[in-house]
Amino acid sequence: DGGITQSPKYLFRKEGQNVTLSCEQNLNHDAMYWYRQDPGQGLRLIYYSQIVNDFQKGDIAEGYSVSREKKESFPLTVTSAQKNPTAFYLCASSTGQPMNTEAFFGQGTRLTVV
């Protein structure tokens, strides 16, 4: 079955360490997205990619980096420059066009930095 997989579901890291969150899809979707959720707030866009080898900053990209070397994969690295990395991270994917066709969401990764 096709789908989008985020791993791990829960992740703990020490302050100052970089950490990479995985997002893989086997849906042949062109577009992939990373969002962050903080308590009491809506999900906010970190980065998105509409095509392989291309990605764009979202609203809160500072302290994060991404790569899109393969269509199936869009890993997010939370760097030590991110001041408040503890949050819930959500990956999504969608077909590029038309816009009202399918979109899928990962289950999310809850990152805790101690």
Partner 1 sequence: KNEVEQSPQNLTAQEGEFITINCSYSVGISALHWLQQHPGGGIVSLFMLSSGKKKHGRLIATINIQEKHSSLHITASHPRDSAVYICAVRYNQFYFGTGTSLTVIP
Contact residues toward partner 1 (CB under 8 A) are 6, 9, 33, 35, 40-43, 45, 48, 58, 90, 92, 94, 98-108, 110
CB of 43 to partner 1, least distance (A): 4
Kind of pairing, strands 109-113 and 10-13?
parallel
Give 16 or 42: the residue with its C-beta nearer to partner 1.
42
Cβ distance 36 to 110 under 8 Å? no
What single-letter DSSP state applies at residue 30? S
In the chain, the N- to C-terminal Cα span, in Å, equals 36
Give 19 or 32: the residue with its C-beta nearer to partner 1.
32
Give 99 or 114: the residue with its C-beta nearer to partner 1.
99
